[in-house]
């Protein structure tokens, strides 16, 4: 999501970062490119105009700062404006004092409402709530069936009956009250914003359930029409926010910016995959960071915290440090990381990696991961503990068992041996040494990675070796390279370069963003 916009800005602003002075022509050049990038990302043209205007205004009267080069200042301005445009802060759900908290979902056909309803129910469950789903999409016979199947997977009750959508919504709410559910999510049929009859129907649904939250579900691939749709739904329903779906595609998702701007309500949730757990609160400031190529390390950390099973992770960390990390441990870790999303995506969230690195990581797809898993699964437990025992005939057996070739088995064993060497580096040189080694490891593989990529990785690992413990400095990677924060000075100063003048809602990001979970 947004990747190519990131690349684009990196291209334009990378040039600027290295220059000392900014002429008026420079400004127009940059603005022109930003405009094109935003249009190609499907940001609505009116919104683009507003955005570019705001950036221009701030660039023209730019008071040259001593700390930052003009180029860096433009980066900062664009970042702030983008963050402002995306919405200041992450939505915080306020639960109704008299439960249940009612959530209504509406949107066009095919935007992903039914799946989003189930994902939302799962999310509320994770927050310790006790949700119920109401299937008020009666226009499509298979819709309620679909909702029931999904709800069954997360153990949530569905209410629906063959009356009419308004009656179902009303009865559903009554049922939620009767059962003592504290959240009631109403799924509705897809409808066009210009279909007066159906818009009236959804208005009446809202009337009878008086939702605490009404969300418009919008597909991230939506083009210029997002604004017309959002405006119409907002007029009818008074939206509280937007759920952005299919962000796991490669659409740049400019619709998010447009809708936020015209509706003036936040993007509340983002849906990033086909699994029910691929769904979370939308983090606008992180998204802007990401657009500017900083990498979204905070999201990664949060995801890691949530996904990782304490027991196995502790075991793995211990095993790593003691240099006895086996294929068995690796397989377990792989399962955990996979839950965070595709491997390539996970890597792209790590900051400081160059395009080359990211490109290399995009070569990894589920199939190759599956292959690696299959190979390990075809080994006996003893072989997993001691791969050295795997001779030629065993290799052949493993290859046959996993539907791969002996060359594939060899490649895996070789890479794993390298990794084990690296683990030793862990215990000796801390993460810094290990990560340097990791860069070297990727580098040996082929010509894909440039020396700069390795240098970047190396400097990232230098950060990791900064004072405060061998691993602690890692979080300092949140800073924009060359944007004022001294390397290794940690998140505090890196963040400070963006504070102050931004559009508000950026307070409290110091520690709060990292530990938002309710335990």
Binding site for ligand GTP (CB under 6 A): 109-110, 190, 192
Q: What is the DSSP string of 122-166?
A: HHHHHTT--EEEEEE--SSHHHHHHHHHHHHHHT--EE--SS-HH
- For the bound state, the minimum distance from the C-beta of residue 452 to ligand GTP, rounded and expressed in Å, comes to 41
Nearer to ligand GTP, 109 or 368 (CB): 109
Give the whole-angstrom CA distance, residue 345 versus residue 409: 25
- For the bound state, the minimum distance from the C-beta of residue 110 to ligand GTP, rounded and expressed in Å, comes to 4
CB 438 within 8 A of CB 457: yes
Spatial strand order of the sheet with 213-219 comes to 158-159, 131-136, 183-188, 101-107, 213-219, 241-245, 267-271, 279-281
* Residue 405 interacts with which of ligand GTP, other proteins, none, CB < 5 to 8 Å by class: none
* Residue 359 interacts with which of other proteins, ligand GTP, none, CB < 5 to 8 Å by class: none
* Cα atoms found within 13 Å of the Cα of residue 358, Cβ hemisphere only: 17
* Residue 444 interacts with which of ligand GTP, other proteins, none, CB < 5 to 8 Å by class: other proteins
CB 214 within 8 A of CB 189: no
Give the whole-angstrom CA distance, residue 365 versus residue 92: 34
Nearer to other proteins, 430 or 487 (CB): 430
* Residue 93 interacts with which of ligand GTP, other proteins, none, CB < 5 to 8 Å by class: none
- For the bound state, the minimum distance from the C-beta of residue 237 to ligand GTP, rounded and expressed in Å, comes to 19
- For the bound state, the minimum distance from the C-beta of residue 421 to ligand GTP, rounded and expressed in Å, comes to 46
Nearer to other proteins, 69 or 461 (CB): 461
CB 10 within 8 A of CB 43: no
- For the bound state, the minimum distance from the C-beta of residue 515 to other proteins, rounded and expressed in Å, comes to 6
Nearest residue to ligand GTP on Cβ basis? 109
- For the bound state, the minimum distance from the C-beta of residue 235 to ligand GTP, rounded and expressed in Å, comes to 19
Nearer to other proteins, 8 or 17 (CB): 8
Residue 502, both tokens? 């931004």
Residue 241, both tokens? 């926010």
- For the bound state, the minimum distance from the C-beta of residue 435 to other proteins, rounded and expressed in Å, comes to 7
Q: Is the backbone of residue 137 left (phi > 0), alpha (psi -120 to 50) or beta?
A: beta
Nearer to other proteins, 95 or 416 (CB): 416
CB 397 within 8 A of CB 379: no
Residue 383, both tokens? 């072989």
Nearer to ligand GTP, 63 or 274 (CB): 274
* Residue 486 interacts with which of other proteins, ligand GTP, none, CB < 5 to 8 Å by class: none
* Residue 233 interacts with which of ligand GTP, other proteins, none, CB < 5 to 8 Å by class: none
- For the bound state, the minimum distance from the C-beta of residue 305 to other proteins, rounded and expressed in Å, comes to 6
- For the bound state, the minimum distance from the C-beta of residue 176 to other proteins, rounded and expressed in Å, comes to 22
Residue 452, both tokens? 């700069």
Residue 433, both tokens? 């040494």
* Residue 262 interacts with which of other proteins, ligand GTP, none, CB < 5 to 8 Å by class: none
Nearer to other proteins, 7 or 96 (CB): 7
Nearer to other proteins, 163 or 368 (CB): 368
* Residue 47 interacts with which of other proteins, ligand GTP, none, CB < 5 to 8 Å by class: none
From 172, 167, 171, 170, select the one nearest 151 (Cα to Cα): 172
For 142, 145, 164, 208, the CA distances from 138, given in Å and listed in that order, are 9, 10, 7, 17
* 413: DSSP letter: H
CB 255 within 8 A of CB 226: yes
* Residue 396 interacts with which of other proteins, ligand GTP, none, CB < 5 to 8 Å by class: none
Give the whole-angstrom CA distance, residue 334 versus residue 336: 5
Nearer to other proteins, 31 or 423 (CB): 423
Residue 218, both tokens? 């919008």
Distance of CA 92 to the CA centre of its chain: 18
């Amino acid at each position: 999501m947004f990747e190519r916009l990131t690349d684009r800005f990196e291209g334009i602003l990378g040039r600027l970062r290295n220059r000392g002075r900014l002429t008026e022509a420079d400004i127009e050049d940059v603005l022109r490119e930003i405009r094109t990038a935003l249009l190609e990302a499907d940001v609505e043209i009116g919104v683009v105009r507003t955005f570019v205007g705001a950036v221009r205004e701030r660039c023209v009267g730019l008071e040259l700062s001593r700390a930052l080069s003009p180029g860096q200042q433009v980066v900062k301005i664009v970042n702030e404006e983008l963050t402002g445009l995306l919405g200041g802060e992450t939505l915080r759900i306020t639960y109704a004092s008299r439960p249940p908290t009612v959530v209504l979902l509406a949107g066009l056909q095919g935007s992903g409402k039914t799946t989003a309803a189930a994902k939302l129910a799962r999310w509320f469950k994770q927050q310790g709530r006790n949700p119920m789903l109401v299937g008020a999409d009666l226009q499509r016979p298979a819709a309620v069936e679909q909702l029931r199947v999904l709800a069954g997977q997360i153990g949530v009750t569905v209410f629906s009956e063959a009356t009419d959508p308004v009656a179902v919504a009303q009865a559903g709410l009554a049922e939620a009250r009767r059962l003592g559910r504290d959240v009631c999510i109403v799924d509705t049929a897809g409808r066009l914003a210009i279909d007066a009859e159906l818009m009236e129907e959804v208005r009446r649904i809202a009337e009878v359930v008086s939702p605490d939250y009404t969300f418009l579900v919008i597909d991230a691939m939506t083009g210029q029409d997002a604004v017309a749709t959002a405006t119409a739904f907002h007029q009818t329903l008074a939206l509280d926010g937007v759920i952005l779906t299919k962000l796991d595609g490669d659409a740049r998702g400019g619709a998010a910016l447009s809708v936020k701007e015209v509706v003036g309500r936040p993007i509340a949730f983002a849906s990033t995959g086909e699994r029910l757990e691929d769904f979370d609160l939308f983090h606008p400031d992180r998204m802007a960071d990401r657009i500017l190529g900083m990498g979204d390390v905070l999201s990664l950390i949060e995801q890691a915290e949530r996904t990782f099973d304490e027991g196995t992770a502790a075991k793995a960390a211990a095993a790593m440090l003691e240099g006895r990390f086996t294929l068995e441990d690796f397989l377990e870790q792989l399962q955990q990381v996979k839950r965070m999303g595709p491997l390539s995506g996970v890597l792209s969230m790590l900051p400081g990696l160059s395009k080359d690195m990211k490109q290399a990581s995009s070569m990894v797809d589920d199939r190759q991961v599956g292959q690696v898993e299959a190979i390990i699964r075809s080994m006996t437990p003893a072989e997993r503990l001691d791969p050295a025992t795997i001779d030629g005939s065993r290799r052949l057996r493993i290859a046959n068992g996993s539907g791969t070739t002996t060359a594939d088995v060899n490649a895996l064993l070789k890479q794993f041996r390298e990794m084990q060497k690296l683990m030793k580096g862990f215990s000796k040189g801390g993460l810094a040494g290990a990560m340097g080694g990791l860069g070297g490891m990727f580098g040996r593989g082929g010509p894909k990675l440039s020396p700069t990529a390795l240098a970047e990785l190396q400097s990232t690992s230098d950060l990791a070796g900064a004072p405060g413990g061998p691993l602690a400095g890692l979080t300092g990677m949140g800073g924009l390279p060359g944007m004022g924060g001294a390397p290794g000075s940690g998140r505090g100063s890196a963040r400070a370069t963006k504070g102050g003048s931004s559009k508000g809602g950026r307070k409290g990001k110091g520690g709060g963003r990292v530990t938002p979970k309710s335990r």
